[in-house]
Chain A
């Protein structure tokens, strides 16, 4: 199975979606707020206000309240539509909607991010909806401490909830639909120390994406359905902190990720029809998920082809490097496309059915799969590629059998015609129905994200059951 990559094939086929340093910008319409003490005519003083800052009663816009707030403040937003792109640069704010379903930030297909938290620590955003943004619904970057809860995102040009270069966080009770890239993204962190839980992500390009993230990063108790592809962590040098490593994916319900009428990036087109894909991931732990109804694979340990890399791959000795350590190193241009293989992943006790090419897949395009150190144990499944995967790659002891028996043709992902992405502005989506509100939105005190992520008892998580 040692194959030579045909440069022409890789060149012509664009396996990766990856690329570039193209990038976002800032909020389209927000002016820069100040992180300094609020102006003297604002109701709050230099200490956290006695009561919450009310929008629109006291401040006409969320941005105005954010600008007036000081660390520790609670901003309460009343039901209404807010055509804003809010920028937050103040630590430890709690920004809360009084009703998750009727407090709506609307980007009107022009503004970029619903709420962007830029380097402000410990900001909690909860109980509201963001829709129609050209980039992201909710976006934390460069922060220590973040909490997003009871949030809806709907029709977003990039991601629903986007967390980059941020650590110590929690995302829970999210509903995301209609993102071009992923419904939820946590990337560029190691160790991330973060939890995504109790979330539903559907009709996105990817249900979950995490590029170059990991290290106490838990993706648990969530539903990923009807996306192009379900849960797809990957490695690549187009962003910092490679490789993706040590993500724990447990207790999720992942089904029917074959959605041809969703918006999509190129990579999701190629990964379409799969439940979980570790694309060049290292040391992920994939356990006790229920995964069914996929055109391709249930759980796939796949290579990621980076066509235009910015740096060479770290050696295994460098897999424990933090992002900060890696940032000090000078990139070396490999000068050609390169493949990230998936190493040392553990796939255990998942329940898989009706994944039509195979329930469990290990594939490489250039290396002998038996050398990659991935292991499988205790899964309930019908077919694997190669066959008899649990005998070939047990988590304890030495494997037996032939890796050539039923080996998977990963190149088929490149050579198959993929249904093209659909314009995110008009893609058919399920109606945004009422989602569960946070408890006591009107009365709960401010709770900045200083104590997240909450402890999780991973051992107590069981394989979910099928929805009725």
Chain B
């Protein structure tokens, strides 16, 4: 898989300079997500089956900024919806995250999380909330998982995907989302549509970022990280919930079509806290919190 990945990476190249993005035109690297591997399958199942910790973050703000792909270039990106850190714009750096507040229920998580905006015609759909699930990669020994290094940035999924992306990386679902689909399914009333993006869970141990923002991280397979990526890190699944019921194929993402789902992350966690969460919730496998998850009145 790795060989294929490298070939694909070379073949597709990257383009993170660029002009303001409209529609399918994007500033994101156009590497195919599969070029960096993909999880063997989505991690899903009952709460408590796999170790995890979870952070719920409300929607913060929208902006046509992207501090990873287009730093310093205000208005240069397609429209993004930001969660977690409230202080994110084109000029945001790892250092400046510390100055922001957070929309997360875990106040010591000041990370920036963002996804392209979901659109219905001209209407921008405001998300209900986001949920970040931090788990070991499938079959990865939980005790080997290390916290994200301070300053790590990641992109998962492919904003320039020409075709379908694997559902183990980018998927749509209704409700809890054990059943994942390439395109948004028709959710019935009371079960919100979700976009779920799964980040890589192996790090090269050296670079906090890379030119295309992908090659410093990779996905594990069969419980092992690929060569060159020796450090298992939490496999973060980022799920954004929209108040969308009923037919959904008329929706669009601001990055282009419905298959261009992706998500970005800048590690603004309190590093000590993140380390404790990894130790307690992943290494020691304490179920650090399950939510009722039920809709409350």
Contacts and interface: CB of A to CB of B under 8 A. Distances in A.
Contacts of B175: 19-20, 307-308
Interface string B265-297: 000001011011100100011111111111111
Contact of A25 (B44, B49, B106, B295): B106
Nearest to B176: A20
Given A26-B289, A264-B296, A32 B276 contact: yes
B54 A21 contact: yes
Contacts of B131: 21-23
Nearest to B275: A32
A310 B45 contact: yes
A25 B178 contact: no
Given A142-B285, A142-B286, A311 B45 contact: yes
B136 to A, nearest CB: 14
B38 to A, nearest CB: 19
Contacts of B141: none
B179 interface: yes
A14 B297 CA distance: 13
A238 B49 CA distance: 10
B294 A331 contact: no
A12 interface: yes
B56 interface: yes
A335 interface: yes
A28 interface: yes
Nearest to B237: A21
A229 to B, nearest CB: 13
Contacts of B287: 141-142, 164-165, 188
B55 interface: yes
B130 to A, nearest CB: 11
* Interface class of chain A by DSSP: loop
B272 A188 contact: no
A335 B179 contact: yes
Given A11-B188, A307-B191, A24 B297 contact: no
A209 B55 CA distance: 24
Contact of B289 (A23, A31, A267, A269): A23
A422 interface: yes
Contact of A263 (B177, B191, B295, B297): B297
Nearest to B108: A31
Given A21-B47, A28-B106, A307-B191, A118 B296 contact: no
Contacts of B295: 17, 19, 265-266
A346 B105 CA distance: 42
A135 B288 CA distance: 13
A61 to B, nearest CB: 16
Contact of A420 (B44, B293, B297): B297
B190 A269 contact: no
B203 to A, nearest CB: 22
Nearest to B104: A25
A9 to B, nearest CB: 11
A264 B49 contact: no
Contacts of B54: 21-25
Contacts, number: 187
A336 to B, nearest CB: 9
A20 B53 contact: no
B119 to A, nearest CB: 25
Given A307-B191, A308-B175, A18 B293 contact: yes
Contacts of B107: 28-29
A159 B294 CA distance: 12
A24 to B, nearest CB: 3
A92 interface: no
A118 B288 contact: yes
B48 interface: yes
A134 B56 CA distance: 12
B250 interface: no
Given A19-B176, A26-B288, A237 B46 contact: yes
A186 B214 CA distance: 43
Nearest to A262: B297
Interface residues of B, number: 50
B48 A23 contact: no
A112 interface: yes
Contacts of A141: 286-289
Contacts of A12: 188-189
Nearest to B44: A310
Contacts of A126: none
A440 interface: no
Given A24-B54, A142-B286, A310-B178, A331 B44 contact: yes
Contacts of B47: 21, 23, 238-240
Given A19-B176, A23-B290, A24-B290, A118 B48 contact: no
B294 to A, nearest CB: 4
A17 B294 contact: yes
B48 A239 contact: yes
Interface string B81-98: 000000000000000000
Contacts of A29: 107
B242 interface: no
A240 B48 contact: yes
A335 B181 CA distance: 12
A68 interface: no
Given A308-B176, A331-B49, A158 B280 contact: no
B49 A240 contact: yes
B200 to A, nearest CB: 20
A385 B48 CA distance: 37
Contacts of B270: 31
30 contacts: A17-B294, A19-B176, A20-B176, A21-B44, A21-B54, A21-B131, A21-B290, A21-B291, A23-B54, A23-B290, A24-B54, A24-B105, A25-B106, A28-B105, A89-B280, A118-B280, A142-B288, A159-B292, A180-B292, A188-B48, A188-B290, A240-B46, A263-B296, A264-B296, A265-B292, A308-B178, A331-B44, A331-B178, A333-B44, A335-B179
Given A188-B287, A327-B49, 8 more contacts: A18-B294, A19-B176, A22-B131, A23-B133, A25-B289, A240-B49, A241-B48, A265-B292
Interface of B: 44-49, 52-56, 104-109, 131, 133, 174-179, 188-191, 270, 272-273, 275-277, 280, 284-297
Interface of A: 11-12, 14, 17-26, 28-29, 31-32, 89, 112, 118-119, 134-135, 141-142, 157-159, 164-165, 180-181, 188, 205, 237-242, 263-267, 269, 307-311, 323, 327, 331, 333, 335, 420-422, 424
